[in-house]
Structure 1
Amino acid sequence: MKKIWIGTSWKMNKDAASAASWAAAVEQAVERSDGRVQPFVIPPFPYLSQMAQTINAEAIQLGAQNMCWQDSGAFTGEVSPLMLKDCGVSIVEIGHSERRAMFGETDNTVNLKVLAALKHGLTPLVCVGDTADEKKWSVSVESVVRQVKIALFDVPFDKVTDVILAYEPVWAIGEGGTPATKEEAETVHRAIRDALVECYGQETADSVVLLYGGSVNLTNASELLDQVNIDGVFVGRTAWDAEGYVELLSIANSKLEH
């Protein structure tokens, strides 16, 4: 049985003191877990080394919010995969809709970053999603599957299962976002899984971790995790508070008791 993944990205939030407080509270909860839930946290770059020294990497995986596809060079303001590994990172978030909309991330650069991450033993967490207009036009599935296929272009067959895919509808993200219903989320996740089956076969497709992100909260997390093709949740504001994150872990653990 696959683990249930429960993760959070802090985006551009928190400071050193609040990061340390969050880590201490969450680690206590994780120590009481039986290991069938996989927690991960993605802080801002300045706190990666601090978090790596604070949390147990075997229990809570540490991620970065972005990286360059080059190992080194004249890329002012960028961070390389080798630098991330130096900081104790195991996951790198790639292609978040905010990166695409505000900082020029494209499907092509997402693919380059996926390949670079895999080359250096990092787990790419690839964010894909549909806009409000795409939802209105009933092309959500086509848009998301296209993003998935481009992200995985030239990924070696035996490395596909090292990639995590997170469906994050753009219309559901942020303070004013409307969360997808469990049916909406499952429909897109099923389409992603079907596309993976078409490209790589059933066994490989079933092994790829698919997450849902977009206004996940303590009210809807349980029903989202009940869906056949949702292997975990990628959470924003609800998980920035340690108590909220611990409650999400509890919800996930309860799914494994049945």
Structure 2
Amino acid sequence: MTKTPWIGTSWKMNKLRADTRAFCDTLKASPMVQGTAAKLFVIPPFPYIAEAADLLRGTRVTVGAQNMHWADGGAWTGEVSAPMVKDCGATLVEIGHSERREFFGETDDTVALKVAQAVRHGLTALVCVGDTHAEFTAKRTSEALRRQVSAALSKVERSARDTVVIAYEPVWSIGENGTPAEPEFVDEQHRLLKTLTAELMGAPLPILYGGSVNPDNCVALATRPTIDGLFIGRSAWAAEGYLGIVDSVTRALAAA
């Protein structure tokens, strides 16, 4: 049976309103956004979530948010709540990205609170986990992933497992100077994550890979049996690049 991969991109702190419109217009013009060969998602910056959701309404593209707070509301200056995310039209929220952990004090505990809050409000929680370069070179990748995933799922009931997706993003592999991970290595980590999430949630969760995904390696990654999709950075910031990766991956899977 051909798998249906998740394929999405987060724009991080990039693009303005006109760029958002142009990206979404290009997506809408493609028949791929109406197909069922992949689960497509786009995660714009907060100011453009509502506009992207409006523009992509009627397509099969899910719109997400890059972060959210664990409280419904209150004196949290500069923060955004799950009800606000939903009100803007997003149905998915990215939680625990390594940049949030490194630069903004995100911890395993706050990630757990946010995952539980997302699930409580009916949002799909896209939980990012990954090993640092130091953990990778010390061969402690498995230890780091077990710790992060166990914490992230600690406040979620097994009955809610259909609303959580894990993205393995090696910290040493993401960003402009990231080193693409070998597909065999990724496959090994995903196998571990499948086993771990099955133990914790009663069934394995979808595990996506993100980290220097590009047109040259997307097929080799997406066709691995344990990789359920791709979370793409700069290679998908142009709509044409994003659609090109979607096309390459879905064609390869259909031919497999």
- TM-score normalised by structure 1 residue count: 0.95
1:43 paired residue number: 44
1:106–1:250 distance in 2 versus 1, CA, 3 Å: same
1:115–1:32 distance in 2 versus 1, CA, 3 Å: closer
Alignment partners' CA distance in 2, 1:162 and 1:214 = 23
Shift of 1:57: 5.7
Alignment partners' CA distance in 1, 2:26 and 2:197 = 37
Partner deviation per Cα, 1:179-230 (whole Å, 9 max, x = no partner): 11101111111110111233334xx21xx21100011000000000011110
2:180 paired residue number: 179
Stretches of structure 2 that go unaligned for 5 or more consecutive residues are none
Partner AA of 2:185 in structure 1:
E
Shift of 1:252: 2.3
**Within-5 A mapping of 1:145-164:** 145-164=146-165
Alignment partners' CA distance in 2, 1:72 and 1:95 = 20
Report which stretch shifted further, 35-44 or 55-64: 55-64
1:236 paired residue number: 233
Alignment partners' CA distance in 2, 1:75 and 1:137 = 38
Shift of 1:173: 0.7
Partner deviation per Cα, 1:52-94 (whole Å, 9 max, x = no partner): 1101365000000000000000000000000001000100000
Alignment partners' CA distance in 1, 2:16 and 2:109 = 33
1:255 paired residue number: 252
Report which stretch shifted further, 20-29 or 238-247: 20-29
**Within-5 A mapping of 1:13-92:** 13-31=14-32, 33-56=34-57, 58-92=59-93
Partner AA of 2:19 in structure 1:
S
Alignment partners' CA distance in 2, 1:224 and 1:54 = 30
Choose which of 213, 216, 225 in structure 2 pairs with 1:216.
Answer: 213
**Within-5 A mapping of 1:88-237:** 88-201=89-202, 204-205=203-204, 208-237=205-234
Shift of 1:6: 0.6
**Percent identity between the two aligned chains:** 48
Stretches of structure 1 that go unaligned for 5 or more consecutive residues are none
Alignment partners' CA distance in 1, 2:228 and 2:31 = 18
Alignment partners' CA distance in 2, 1:32 and 1:20 = 16
- Per the alignment, in what secondary structure is the counterpart of residue 6 of structure 1? strand
1:26–1:245 Cα contact (<8 Å) kept? no
Shift of 1:35: 1.0
1:125–1:164 Cα contact (<8 Å) kept? yes
1:191–1:32 distance in 2 versus 1, CA, 3 Å: closer
